[in-house]
Amino acid sequence: MTEKTAYNIAVVGATGAVGKKIIQILENKDLPINEIKFLSSERSAGKKIPFKGKEITVEAAIPDSFAGVDIALFSAGGSVSKQLVPEAVKHGAVVVDNTSAYRMDSDVPLVVPEVNQSDIQNHQGIIANPNCSTIQMVAALKPLKDAYGMERVIVSTYQAVSGAGEKANGELDAQINQYTANEEMQAELLPVKGDEKHYPIAFNALPQIDVFQENGYTFEEMKMINETKKIMHAPGLSIAATCVRLPIFRSHAESIYIEVEKEGLTVTDLWNVLNDADGVVLEDDPTEQIYPTPLSATGKEAVFVGRVRKDLDNDKGFHIWVVSDNLVKGAAWNTIQIAASLIQNKWL
Ligand code: NAP
Ligand code: 3JM
């Protein structure tokens, strides 16, 4: 049998915030693509999306859509993944799933390539892409853990509205206009589409991302906690999270407190590790007011780290500020890195 040199790809959720970013990045990278399919719901079927000089017609996703597909990139929500990922796998596709549907399944690798790329090879047809907030956090934490050990993590997030989908951007935009026109702000979507109450996000901060769990944490917070332990192979890590949505269109920021195992470390010791870490860019110079922000990180593939400080009371405690584009490294770019790794390493 001759070996494949180009692959058939399907993008599920191609018309959404994440899907559009996947298409944009695929246009600019040279993955060996034979045919590409763009799938959505019935609502967007028939739309045309340009790709590498051709016009591709969006099709409604159905089980048979996956016939002949080698790699399917899913970003259409958990319920679509629950329904269609098994169908894609039945048709012989390897799925990179961007939703929370399979992330914690024991036979599904959960992967940030800079952190645990080799886990990909254990896949049984599905590889899960972690939550956006988890991805940027583990990219910064893993090199520090490898160098100095890690006992505890406490994270507070400052998350962009685009993490809640294309329509959430529209809601923020409309509320900014309503506020400046002295009109009442209309909230119909955030914090969570399906939940009972909705609050304005413009000029506000909402300490609820995804639905509340029985333990008082939100699902987004529990995703960060459970996914981090799985990706870093650190089931015993102490970790807590508070996730907050802010009126920012793109890129999430995180304030992270970590306790390392090694005593007597300095900020320079952490800088040295972060400077050498794959996919991480250190931007940290208080004397020049240099630190990453959501605006400076938007559109970039890296995870940016700044404001590295030693805790004033705990010798093993450090504080860091981590910023990355939630739609790029937090979703589309990480997904494409996994797909590229499947191809390059012949792990399909
Ligand atoms: P979005 O902007 O609301 O887009 C949703 C996409 O899913 C659209 O293309 C939509 O197609 C499609 N879709 C909806 N129902 C469908 C159905 N029944 N069958 C097929 N396609 C359907 O949302 P988004 O921000 O792109 O996020 C999409 C999903 O990706 C999220 O729900 C989440 O699970 C995941 N996500 C992951 C991360 C991460 O951190 N890894 C970040 C953000 C999102 P239409 O145009 O036809 O409506
Ligand atoms: C980011 O409809 C849904 O199930 C989507 C919910 C969602 C998720 C998720 O749980 O997959 C919205 C935004 C995520 C995510 O990446 O965890």
Q: What is the pLDDT of residue 210?
A: 98
The C-alpha atoms of residue 202 and residue 294 are separated, in whole angstroms, by 16
The C-alpha atoms of residue 167 and residue 190 are separated, in whole angstroms, by 10
**Nearest CA, atom 24, ligand 1:** 165
Q: Ligand 2 pocket by C-beta < 6 Å: which residues?
A: 77-79, 99-100, 131-132, 163, 223
Q: What are phi and psi of 252, to 5 degrees?
A: -95, 145
Query: What would the pLDDT profile of 284-330 be if each residue is shown by its tens digit?
Result: 999 999 999 999 999 999 999 999 999 999 999 999 999 999 999 99
Ligand index nearest the alpha carbon of residue 83: 1
Ligand 1: distance of its center to the CA of 330 in Å? 14
Instruction: Output the six-digit token pair for 161.
Output: 């509205």
47 to each of 12, 38, 66, 100, 144, how far by Cα in Å? 14, 10, 19, 27, 46
List % helix, strand, coil for the chain (3-state, nearest 5). Answer: 35, 25, 40
* DSSP, res 332: I
Distant-in-sequence, close-in-space partners of 173: CB < 8 Å, separation ≥ 6: none
CATH number for region 7-129+331-344: 3.40.50.720
What is the dihedral angle through the alpha carbons of 24, 322, 146, 96, rounded to the nearest 10 degrees?
-30
**Nearest CA, atom 17, ligand 1:** 41
Q: What is the chain's mean pLDDT, rounded?
A: 98
Name the packing angle between helices 132-148 and 219-231 (round to 10°): 40
SS3 for 256? strand
* Nearest atom within ligand 1 for CA of residue 15: 9
Instruction: Output the six-digit token pair for 111.
Output: 């992967």
Query: What would the pLDDT profile of 212-223 be if each residue is shown by its tens digit?
Result: 999 999 999 999
The C-alpha atoms of residue 231 and residue 192 are separated, in whole angstroms, by 26
Ligand index nearest the alpha carbon of residue 100: 2
Same CATH topology for 7-129+331-344 and 134-326?
no
Using an 8 Å Cβ cutoff, are 306 and 291 in contact? yes
Proportion of the chain above pLDDT 90, given as a percent: 99
Q: Which pLDDT band holds residue 22 (cuts at 50, 70, 90)?
A: very high
The C-alpha atoms of residue 348 and residue 342 are separated, in whole angstroms, by 5
**Would you say the pTM of this structure is higher than 0.85?**
yes
In which residue are the tokens 């959404």 written?
16
Q: Ligand 1 pocket by C-beta < 6 Å: which residues?
A: 13-19, 40-41, 43-44, 61, 75-78, 80, 98-99, 129, 131-132, 163, 165-167, 330-331
Torsion sign, CA atoms 68, 72, 75, 78 = positive
Residue 178: CB atoms within 10 Å: 15
* Nearest atom within ligand 1 for CA of residue 42: 47
**Nearest CA, atom 13, ligand 2:** 164
Pairing state between β 48-51 and 71-74: unpaired
Using an 8 Å Cβ cutoff, are 5 and 11 in contact? no
Query: What would the pLDDT profile of 221-279 be if each residue is shown by its tens digit?
Result: 999 999 999 999 999 999 999 999 999 999 999 999 999 999 999 999 999 999 999 99
Q: What is the pLDDT of residue 3?
A: 79
Ligand index nearest the alpha carbon of residue 104: 2
Ligand 1: distance of its center to the CA of 342 in Å? 23
Ligand 1: distance of its center to the CA of 5 in Å? 30
Ligand 1: distance of its center to the CA of 42 in Å? 13
The C-alpha atoms of residue 331 and residue 68 are separated, in whole angstroms, by 25
Using most ligand atoms within 8 A of CB, pick from 99, 129, 169 the residue to mutate for ligand 2.
99
Q: What is the pLDDT of residue 120?
A: 98
Using most ligand atoms within 8 A of CB, pick from 75, 100, 337, 338 the residue to mutate for ligand 1.
75
Nearest residue to 27 (alpha-carbon basis) of 1, 53, 9, 4:
53
Using an 8 Å Cβ cutoff, are 306 and 321 in contact? yes
Residue 309: CB atoms within 10 Å: 15
Nearest residue to 323 (alpha-carbon basis) of 297, 287, 286, 284:
297
Q: Which pLDDT band holds residue 1 (cuts at 50, 70, 90)?
A: low
134-326 has which fold? Dihydrodipicolinate Reductase; domain 2 (3.30.360)
Give the ranges where 132-209 is alpha helix by DSSP (H): 132-148, 166-180
Q: What is the pLDDT of residue 256?
A: 99
The C-alpha atoms of residue 298 and residue 286 are separated, in whole angstroms, by 21
* Catalytic residue numbers, as ranges: 132, 252
Ligand 1: distance of its center to the CA of 190 in Å? 16
Residue 44: CB atoms within 10 Å: 18
Largest CA distance in the chain: 69
Domain ranges of the chain: 7-129+331-344, 134-326
